[in-house]
A and B are shown apart, each in its own frame.
Chain A
Amino acid sequence: MNLQDHLIKTRAFALKSWLITRKRPFHLFEILFWPLLGLISVGLLARFLDLEARLVQFVLVGVVALNIVQVSQIDMAYVVLYSIWNRSLKHEMAAPVNVLQLVVGSWATGILHAFVVFVFLNVFSAMAFRVHLLQAGFFPLGVLFVGLVLFGCAVGTAVCAMAFHLGGRAHVGATFLVSILTVLSGIYYPIDVLPQPVQLLSLLIPLTYFLEYIRGCYGFPVTCSNPLLWGFLLTLGYNLLSFFLLSLSIRAARQKGTLLELSE
């Protein structure tokens, strides 16, 4: 297979995701409205609790980070979920495409959407709550963004793996994964407020380290010696694991006949 062939097939998945966003207002709603709503409600809660500005920054950067992971994974999941809902999965899987093309293509649109949301939430938090996330500097925010979308890729790939196993119900799996992240990775609070055994679970989540890093840039104490290194290492590990799971899941779907069932 030559590079051009590989790129065309990868772009096919990106195009699909892009067209779905363009044509389904509900999808656009999901990637813009919910993140905005989340930011507004938390921002207003912070105002009601009369939190000092740096604590508001602490919380809002968590909300933004969680949304970036959510938005970048949702495009990936939808590429597979739409095929299941449209019962067209078998036609796509009968084509000579591979898992890498599916993952990278759908993730590419996820990155684009995530970037738009990232900029939008940054601007909105500055205007509505006078919280300037950019205060950390372009480079740290850029690194944070890269880390978050890479982690989003791992989450999205895992959801796709679930979709080949569970069908449309994998949508619930996506919500479950993001809910777990919300509780465990210190979105609204430092992880040391969690019970000790649960903190160990938090340390297994890359998002915990990315938040630690960016909050360090805002002057909050950093408890881990090299949060970026840990964050990226774990992200790499989860990406490899979820990629393996997706390959396994597609293979199992072809073995058990689930692929046909999902297309009926």
Chain B
Amino acid sequence: MNAISLRGIHKTYPAHHGKTAVHALKGVDLEVESGVIYCVLGPNGAGKTTLIAILTTLLYPDGGGGTIFGLDLLRERGRIREIVNVTSGTPNFTDVFTVRENLNYYGMLYGLPKVPRNERIGSLIETFELKPYEHVLFSRLSSGLRQRLALAKAMLNDPKVLFLDEPTVGLDPKISETVRRTLKKISREKGLTLILTTHQMREAEFLSDRIAFLREGRIVAEGNPDDLKRGIRYGEKIRIRYDGPILFLEELSGLEGILETEGDDRLVTVTVDDHAKRLDPIIRRLNSDPRRVIRNIDIVTPDLEDVFLELAGSSH
């Protein structure tokens, strides 16, 4: 069963307080398999937060529909809230409550009876290394600790789907890294489906099994990170330095999968769709003249940043 299945989700924020209406989502379709880490990437204003808000039932869509673990997004919102949880990059909880009081309060909101609730809170405090801060007021926690508390809170009901809206925004790099590792670990250990939004390519690349690019309220590309990188016109670059007679670029024409060729003295740069498939024929063509000797081969694959720039830029 798919964890999430969405069809034609539309959302427009009505005009109010002098602001014009915003058509935030324009027919989003989404299929997310159970147990994967799925990342929704996009520039600011792309509709990422709106999408998460709809999936967590904090926001009602104007059109379209879908299911979360078979529960209808429009008709079974109460049951959906029982199996999902959410956290955001700037988590806020009751400022006069301590870490434990906040967890206890949310544990009660999720209907956990006292004994299992206390056990769960204890275990989450351990997992997220919050023990020394258990009785510290939320208002006195650093942003890193707040994020750890938010993640602990998000795990209270042992959700089937966890939504993370920009989970590391505003955190220092070291804490961000810890958060990422923790997320990956939790997802793998518990088989949890994790949906996160981010505009950090590195984070998406590190965490995600699949990625959707959202731009101006539409998903413009979807796939696993490798497919996406291969899919953009940048391709992968194979740089070969050699000695011997010059290789004329025309010699490479006719080979399958070649997107672009550049030559400079005895350095040839070939842009291909998939280096694993195309490297061997290129080397054979180079070696067709036995006087040539290959000195060095570099393979440069595009990163998600390239994909992002390509997809974000193609609208302009």
Residues 89 to 106 of chain B near chain A (Cβ within 8 Å): 91-97, 101, 104-106
State whether the Cβ of B239 lies closer than 8 Å to any Cβ in chain A. no
- Total B residues in contact with A, Cβ cutoff 8 Å: 37
State whether the Cβ of B53 lies closer than 8 Å to any Cβ in chain A. yes
Q: Find chain A residues with CB under 8 A from B75 CB.
A: none
Q: Find chain B residues with CB under 8 A from A5 CB.
A: 111
Would A263 and B92 count as touching, CB distance under 8 A?
Answer: yes
State whether the Cβ of A16 lies closer than 8 Å to any Cβ in chain B. yes
State whether the Cβ of B81 lies closer than 8 Å to any Cβ in chain A. yes
State whether the Cβ of A96 lies closer than 8 Å to any Cβ in chain B. yes
State whether the Cβ of B132 lies closer than 8 Å to any Cβ in chain A. no
Set B16, B101, B106, B113: member contacting A91, Cβ < 8 A: B106
Would A15 and B105 count as touching, CB distance under 8 A?
Answer: yes
- CA gap between A23 and B138 in the complex, in Å: 13
Of chain A, the residue at the smallest CB distance from B110 is A95
Would B94 and A83 count as touching, CB distance under 8 A?
Answer: yes
Q: Find chain A residues with CB under 8 A from B104 CB.
A: 15
Stretch among A47-55, A239-247, A254-262 lining the B interface = A254-262
State whether the Cβ of B58 lies closer than 8 Å to any Cβ in chain A. yes
State whether the Cβ of A12 lies closer than 8 Å to any Cβ in chain B. yes
- 0/1 interface trace, chain B 38-57, chain A, CB 8 Å (1 if under): 00000000000110010011
State whether the Cβ of B69 lies closer than 8 Å to any Cβ in chain A. no
Would B92 and A94 count as touching, CB distance under 8 A?
Answer: no
- CA gap between A23 and B139 in the complex, in Å: 13
Q: Find chain A residues with CB under 8 A from B111 CB.
A: 1, 4-5, 8-9, 96
Q: Find chain A residues with CB under 8 A from B57 CB.
A: 94, 254
- CA gap between A8 and B112 in the complex, in Å: 7
State whether the Cβ of B248 lies closer than 8 Å to any Cβ in chain A. no
Q: Find chain A residues with CB under 8 A from B128 CB.
A: none
Set A8, A24, A82, A86: member contacting B108, Cβ < 8 A: A8
Q: Find chain B residues with CB under 8 A from A15 CB.
A: 104-105, 108
- 0/1 interface trace, chain A 92-115, chain B, CB 8 Å (1 if under): 111111100000000000000000
Interface SS of B by simple majority: mixed
State whether the Cβ of B60 lies closer than 8 Å to any Cβ in chain A. yes
State whether the Cβ of B85 lies closer than 8 Å to any Cβ in chain A. yes
Would A255 and B94 count as touching, CB distance under 8 A?
Answer: no
State whether the Cβ of A88 lies closer than 8 Å to any Cβ in chain B. yes
- CA gap between A1 and B153 in the complex, in Å: 22
Of chain B, the residue at the smallest CB distance from A11 is B108
Q: Find chain A residues with CB under 8 A from B86 CB.
A: 90-91, 94
Would A254 and B108 count as touching, CB distance under 8 A?
Answer: no
Residues 167 to 205 of chain B near chain A (Cβ within 8 Å): none
Of chain A, the residue at the smallest CB distance from B86 is A94
- CA gap between A20 and B105 in the complex, in Å: 12
State whether the Cβ of B82 lies closer than 8 Å to any Cβ in chain A. yes
Would B105 and A12 count as touching, CB distance under 8 A?
Answer: yes
Q: A9-B108, A82-B94 are in contact. Are A93 and B113 (CB under 8 A)?
A: no
Q: Find chain B residues with CB under 8 A from A95 CB.
A: 81, 106, 109-110
Q: A4-B113, A15-B108, A92-B109 are in contact. Are A257 and B59 (CB under 8 A)?
A: yes
State whether the Cβ of A132 lies closer than 8 Å to any Cβ in chain B. no
- CA gap between A187 and B94 in the complex, in Å: 36
- 0/1 interface trace, chain B 11-55, chain A, CB 8 Å (1 if under): 001101000000000000000000000000000000001100100
Q: Find chain B residues with CB under 8 A from A96 CB.
A: 78-79, 81-82, 109-111
Of chain B, the residue at the smallest CB distance from A27 is B96
State whether the Cβ of A19 lies closer than 8 Å to any Cβ in chain B. yes
6 contacts between A and B (CB under 8 A): A23-B97, A82-B94, A87-B92, A256-B13, A259-B59, A260-B59
**B residues with CB within 8 A of A:** 13-14, 16, 49-50, 53, 56-60, 78-79, 81-82, 84-86, 88, 91-97, 101, 104-106, 108-113, 153
If A91-B86, A91-B153, A257-B50 are given as contacts, then 13 extra A-B residue pairs at C-beta distance below 8 Å, sorted by A number, are: A4-B111, A8-B111, A8-B112, A12-B108, A23-B96, A23-B97, A24-B96, A83-B94, A88-B93, A95-B110, A251-B60, A254-B57, A256-B14
The 6 closest A-B pairs by CB, nearest first: A12-B108, A96-B81, A95-B109, A5-B111, A87-B92, A23-B96
